[in-house]
Amino acid sequence: MNEFDDMQLLLAAEHWNPHAILGPHPIATAGKQSLRIRAFLPGITEAHLISDKPKAKPVRMKQIHDDGIYEGTLRSTSSTSSYRIRTTDQSGTVTERHDPYAFLPMVTDHDLHLFTEGKLFQAYETLGAHVRTIQGITGVHFVVWAPNASRVSVVGEFNLWDGRCHQMSGRGGTGLWELFIPDLSPGTLYKYEIRARNQQAPFLKADPYAFSAELRPRTASIVHDLSTYQWLDQNWMEHRTQSNPLTSPMSIYEVHLGSWMRVPGEGGRWLTYRELADKLIPYVQHMGYTYIELMPVTEHPFDGSWGYQATGYFAATSRFGPPEDFMAFIDASHRAGIGVIMDWAPAHFPDDPHGLAWFDGTHLYDHEDPRLGYHPDWKSRIFNYGRVEVRNFLQNSALFWLDKYHIDGLRVDAVASMLYRDYARKADEWVPNQFGGNENLEAVEFLKELNVQVHKTHPGAITIAEESTAWPGVSKPTYTGGLGFTFKWNMGWMHDMLDYFQKDPVHRKYHQNQITFGLLYAFNENFVLVLSHDEVVHGKKSLLDKMPGDQWQRFANLRALYGYMYSHPGKKMLFMGGEFGQWWEWNHDDSLQWHLCEQEPHVGLQRFVHDLNWLYRNEPALHEVDYDWTGFQWIDINDTEHSTISFLRKAKEQDNQIVCACNFTPIPRQDYRIGVPFLSRYRELLNSDAQIYGGSNMGNGGGVQAEPIPAHGFPHSITVTLPPLSVLYFKAE
């Protein structure tokens, strides 16, 4: 291709390597080394080269093409000589700037190789927009993956969104494009203008690796430097590497930041990250939770998606403030002794035109075949896990939040939809894998790789799978054939419990198996018992409103559910509002009903959850051995007529045991005998029917004395009063 053809491609904004034409190129003039410098300056009437050398005189550039290509020569012995271009536009405005094409592409061959192999696990340090100082000049280095584009440009207010001005250079078969633009700074708005090979008209895309983005409905990416925040959570981070989450207490408060609390005096606006740090974290700390789980804070265009339809996999949503404020929120949480788990959604992405869909004019991040690439339930695109660059993009997103934001764990959304090709599909709407099965083998490998990398690079960090099927080994190590998650949501337990507790107590004796069935599989996985946001929306009612009976019975039922939950093997998670008995279904556009916390019996329920959390944290028998039979033993599961059960929870030290007794009817059980292992006085640690919780205040006077009377296979027994709709904990003194 000759020089004329190159210029025509450049002028048409179709050139894949503008550095070959623009910028400095060594030439020899009169036996001396010089630089011939070309620049594309549309709309300019005059241009001069200004050397950064002291006392250098401006050199007028000659216009060599009517559409705005200028050329000039500087005497220099180095091809890296620094210079500026001074321009005068048609209005007479004079501007000076460094030439972006004076800086050669900077992504190393090693990184290019790792990227194509899917092994560039800190790609977020390379791709995207990074403030860098090159040859003493500060600017922004842009790198984007668009292998099927014929041209990519960086556009923004700095070039009047003109895609001809800052055309990027392609890096061959890697599909990467890059350009360093000097003199840009944090806060710059930008997008990529992409010309696809099969389309005439270029289109705009937000940066998939952007660290910040405009608030909807605006969609530009924002240059942001994440390195300026000074973390103060070193003690927490060091301690985390030494902790074992499987044996530690884990009580999780699930939160949607936009609706936990709003400011009614200011139009019901959201709290900012800083305000949330001041209000939410002390509340969670007081209530005794050990973790906050945030519904997705990745940038998303539609509030009603709750963050699960993300467009910014590396950007904290700007709804509540800048990235540093979110860092400050996490920092404050850690200094208060509370971990932060973030919901993360690698199962699908929306088809918003500025997002990942049709990114370079092709199905780059998803499958072209809708039987593989389109989710019929969520009307969204499914990632192509068979493509190494896509897997690497998602792995980088996960590692990014752990690295840059000190997130303590990721709850991975919709894992079941990733594992099965026929998930939510009819018989003719899916394609079997190469062996004829319905498993998504590429997604399986991605999840294994993800968990290996997370646990390898961030010791103490956790991953939690929202997986609703019986896929084996979700929370087992990959070297034993598992997927490698730390924990798995126990969806079966959740559905059984809610179904049971919604029944009128008179019928519960016929459904005792729903209470006990969970113990048949409780130790197959590392389960988290969840009462999540999904169970209090879309007409399902709030937890309190699900309960049967009059108001007193509803509160008593809910306390009994929580009491049983905290005594059952497995870590715990409760969605916000459930701790004080929200009457309304959750509404993402409104605040929780905080005024209820000034009224009984909501105050009593909130106090019960507070005491339950702290007791759970302080008693090793309730959390140390959650995933083995040595931490649990039935006492009696056969009293179906009275809808009662009793069992032991045990710590690693087997003499540290707690007796749990449950009465799931509104009829008190007097002189109720329960077998126990020790001839001792048993202190009543917790009684969900206590008056301070809103109960009838029946109980056992603080404790009972065991007698040498065998019962339920134990050598001793206690005789207790089981209050109506109650859960009691006893501990041998």
Which residue numbers are catalytic? Answer: 413, 466
Q: Are 375 and 443 in contact (CB under 8 A)?
A: no
Three-class DSSP category at 380? strand
Interatomic CA distance for residues 319 and 257, integer angstroms? 10
Sheet architecture: strand order including 59-60? 59-60, 44-51, 83-89, 94-98
Q: Which residues pair with 213 in a beta bridge?
A: 221
Q: Distance between the two ends of the chain, CA-based, in angstroms?
A: 90
Nearest to 419 by CA among 443, 403, 385: 443
Nearest to 253 by CA among 510, 527, 575: 575
Q: Are 463 and 410 in contact (CB under 8 A)?
A: yes
Q: Which amino acid is at 437?
A: G
Three-class DSSP category at 599? coil
φ/ψ of residue 179, rounded to 5 = -165, 135
φ/ψ of residue 669, rounded to 5 = -115, 105
φ/ψ of residue 313, rounded to 5 = -80, -5
Nearest to 505 by CA among 667, 690, 646, 639: 667
CB burial of 19-58 (b: ≥16 within 10 Å; e: otherwise) equals: bebbbbeeeeeeeeebbebbbbbeebeebbbbbeeeeeee
The tokens describing 506, both together, are 């008179």
Q: Are 42 and 80 in contact (CB under 8 A)?
A: no
Consecutive H or E run containing 330: helix 323-335
Interatomic CA distance for residues 144 and 179, integer angstroms? 9
Q: Are 730 and 563 in contact (CB under 8 A)?
A: no
Q: Which residue has the tokens 């090159």?
A: 134
Q: Which residues pair with 692 in a beta bridge?
A: none
Interatomic CA distance for residues 60 and 37, integer angstroms? 11
Interatomic CA distance for residues 9 and 12, integer angstroms? 5
Nearest to 354 by CA among 162, 153, 218: 218
Cα 224 versus chain centre, distance: 20
Interatomic CA distance for residues 181 and 131, integer angstroms? 10
Please, which residues have CB within 8 angstroms of residue 72's CB and are 6 or more apart in sequence?
36, 37, 47, 48, 49, 59, 60, 61, 62
